[in-house]
Amino acid sequence: MSGTAYRETMRGADSDIELESTCHPSANSKAGGPGGSDTGGLMKQRDANDPLISRCDGLMEAEVDTEMVGLHVESGTCYGFNHTAYRIWQLVGQPVRLSRLCAKLSQEFEIDPATCEHEIRPLLKGLEEDGLVILSEA
């Protein structure tokens, strides 16, 4: 089974922090299927610069050390989040604006908010395409 890896490196003042989540997509993760997007994804929000990030239901998760393993029940897709990606997942447990998420991450991981935003947008887009989060205007 082929897999897709989301890997982003956040470069802060004194450290590099790697975000990684790996998935093995099923046929259902294509557009229109469970977790798919019929509208092409990220640009559904009114303010593309500061979307509201909300988690979707359906991911069974288990913490392993400081990381997370998740299984999307509907699609059968398995995900692995390293420590940083898991922290992002925790912070989007309640709907949060991208700007507030990056402000919080910059406090925890010695990275400026603008760099943080630039680095995690591809991860969020991938999670949206897989039906794990919604990026909206609300």
Domains of the chain and CATH, by start: 4-28+45-136 (3.90.930)
107: Cβ–Cβ under 8 A, 6 or more apart, which residues? Answer: none
Q: Is the pLDDT of residue 17 over 50?
A: no
Kindly state the average pLDDT of the residues 1-20: 41
Query: What is the predicted pLDDT for the residue at 137?
Result: 83
Q: Is the pLDDT of residue 6 over 90?
A: no
DSSP-H helix ranges across the chain: 83-91, 98-109, 113-129
**b/e map of 15-24 (b: 16 or more CB within 10 Å)?**
eebebbbbbe
Residue pair 125/24 in contact (Cβ under 8 Å)? The answer is no
Distance CA 45, CA 51 (A): 6
Residue pair 125/111 in contact (Cβ under 8 Å)? The answer is no
According to DSSP, the residues that pair with 7 across neighbouring strands are 20
CA angle at 69 for the pair 23 and 86, rounded to the nearest 5°: 95
Query: What is the predicted pLDDT for the residue at 87?
Result: 95
